């Protein structure tokens, strides 16, 4: 009888440790995702004068990431004031219904890359929406959309400490 109790005890101990490790992994994954994008639930609010405003916090890498959509399809934006245009991965662009326009060479951190101009019908960042936003489709950019100046020049930007306020510009 004793060897059976020892085997059961060993199995319960192993099952307990396995369960604990799985729970820790799930918690760590959620924590790291929150650190990568602390603005997942960011939404624009009325700034008091009829203008919409959204407040973003820096992520652990020092970047501003925001939720939004392109042509109604949810995407994640990485704000990039050094980018002239909004930049979208060409495969993601196809899923978003973006059409390839004229071929265009772009200087990136990795050198010159060939892309295609496009026009985004509707671009929404946490509730601030713009129409007819010039963009570029680039190969191997990934799932995150670079939110460049073709969108950002149409909003007011105020950075203080670890927060960035985007305010819809007055018409």
The CATH number that applies at residue 60 is 2.40.70.10
**Domain span at residue 129?**
45-168
CA distance 106 to 58: 27
2 with 86, same domain: the answer is: no
Query: Given a cut of 90, is residue 118 above it in pLDDT?
Result: yes
Please state the domain count of the chain.
2
User: Which is higher by pLDDT, 14 or 24?
Assistant: 14
Hunting for tokens 């196809």 — which residue is that? 94
User: Which is higher by pLDDT, 166 or 32?
Assistant: 166
Q: What is the reported pLDDT for 35?
A: 52
Confidence bin at 9 (pLDDT 50/70/90): confident
CB 75 within 8 A of CB 69: yes
30 with 86, same domain: the answer is: no
CB-side neighbour CA atoms (13 Å) of 57: 11
Range 134-158 burial, b when 16+ CB lie within 10 A, else e: bbbbbeebeebbbbbebbbeebeee
Q: What is the reported pLDDT for 38?
A: 75
Q: What is the reported pLDDT for 32?
A: 47
């Amino acid at each position: 009888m004793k060897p059976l109790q020892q085997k059961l005890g060993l199995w319960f101990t192993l099952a307990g440790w396995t369960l604990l490790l799985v729970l820790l992994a799930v918690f760590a994954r959620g924590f790291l995702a929150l650190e990568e994008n602390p603005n997942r639930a960011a939404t624009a609010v009325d700034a008091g004068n009829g203008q919409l405003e959204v407040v973003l916090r820096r992520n652990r890498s020092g970047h501003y990431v925001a939720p939004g959509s392109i042509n109604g399809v949810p995407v994640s934006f990485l704000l990039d004031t050094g980018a002239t245009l909004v930049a979208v991965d060409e495969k993601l662009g196809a899923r978003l219904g973006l059409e390839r326009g004229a071929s265009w060479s772009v200087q990136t951190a990795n050198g010159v890359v060939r892309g295609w101009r496009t026009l985004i019908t509707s671009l929404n960042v946490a509730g601030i929406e713009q129409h007819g936003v010039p963009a570029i489709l680039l190969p191997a950019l990934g799932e995150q959309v670079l939110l460049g100046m073709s969108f950002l020049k149409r909003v007011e930007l105020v950075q203080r400490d670890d927060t960035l306020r985007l305010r819809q510009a007055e018409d």
